[in-house]
Structure 1
Amino acid sequence: MSMEPTSVEANKRLIRALYEDCINTRELDRLDSLVAPDFVGARGERGPREFRAGIEAVLTGFPGVRFEIHDLFGEGDRVAARWTFRATHRGRFAGLAPTNADVIQEGHVIYQLRAGRIVHAWLQADRLGVLQQIGAIPRSFADARPDRPL
């Protein structure tokens, strides 16, 4: 099913607003208007509440996080975003105590939209790089030793 260019442009504006007007500004109450009740995420999370919980986990571990969008491409009912986030690890993240390490993460997300809301997201992000930057695992497997857990 093809969409008119204005719909693709509207979807791209919605995804840009997700990052710039919602996540970067910490106005997470806006998520209810951006994420559909039947949303399904990359790890199986469902609905706006679980979408928000994922963002809150990042904001807890990296309270100063800012996302920079490099590219937005749209076709049909999908928008692809390429972004970088920069932050300092100042809170618990993935069960790990804060390290005050500066972190840079790159990611790509393909969003599917319907009726002006996000219904699906497929995320590929450099989570390994983040864990290495905060010291949770060695920066290289050459640094791993049998006496030191990964």
Structure 2
Amino acid sequence: MLDKNKALVQRFFAAIESADFGVFDDIVALDYDDHLPGQGRGRETLKQYFRDLHSAFADLKLPISALVAEGDKVAVLNAVRGTHHGDFAGLAATGRTIDAPAFQLYRIEDGRLAEHWEVADFSTLMRQLQG
């Protein structure tokens, strides 16, 4: 089961990178609960969040450097990389690249991502965008 949960998270990350948000219908719970500040509940809200992120960073990559599963949880240490080509956090496109670390924790229920927590280095990301 642990390997299946890790594979689910890897599939999720691959869908984000390829902007294939239709995959979310198969792997994300309808009432997905995202504890990221400012983020709303639900699968459709999550899709819109990543559509907006791809509008800002069309070449978005989320390389995983560590993936650990225990019980119904999967922890991910990853980076957030991309080139700023659209509005993000009130900033117009700068053409600058970002490379910031992030830590994610997912809870899996009935074979779908049900809940998410994140700690991202937003200050590094914003410094990179502001030059």
* TM-score (ref. length: structure 1): 0.82
- The equivalent position to 2:21 in structure 1, one of 18, 22, 28, is 28
Question: How many correspondences in the alignment?
Answer: 129
Q: 2:86 aligns to what?
A: 91
- The 5 A counterparts of 1:70-85 are 70-85=65-80
Q: 1:112 aligns to what?
A: 107
4+ residue segments displaced more than 3 Å: none
SS of the residue aligned with 2:119?
Answer: strand
Runs of 5+ unmatched residues, structure 2:
none
* TM-score (ref. length: structure 2): 0.93
Determine if contact 2:60/2:83 at 8 Å carries over to the other structure.
Answer: yes
Q: 2:12 aligns to what?
A: 18
- The equivalent position to 2:3 in structure 1, one of 3, 9, 15, is 9
State the AA in 2 paired with 1:84: A
Percent identical = 27
Deviation at 1:65, TM superposition (A): 0.9
Q: 1:64 aligns to what?
A: 59
Determine if contact 2:65/2:77 at 8 Å carries over to the other structure.
Answer: yes
Q: Which has the higher contact order (CA 8 A, sep 6+)?
A: 2
State the AA in 2 paired with 1:67: L
Deviation at 1:17, TM superposition (A): 0.6
**Structure of greater Rg:** 1
Q: 1:45 aligns to what?
A: 40
Deviation at 1:85, TM superposition (A): 2.2
Deviation at 1:37, TM superposition (A): 1.2
Structure 1 residues 29-76: Cα deviation after superposition (integer angstroms, max 9, x where no partner): 111111101211023521101111221222111111111111110000
State the AA in 1 paired with 2:98: V
C-alpha separation in 1, matches of 2:52 and 2:127: 18
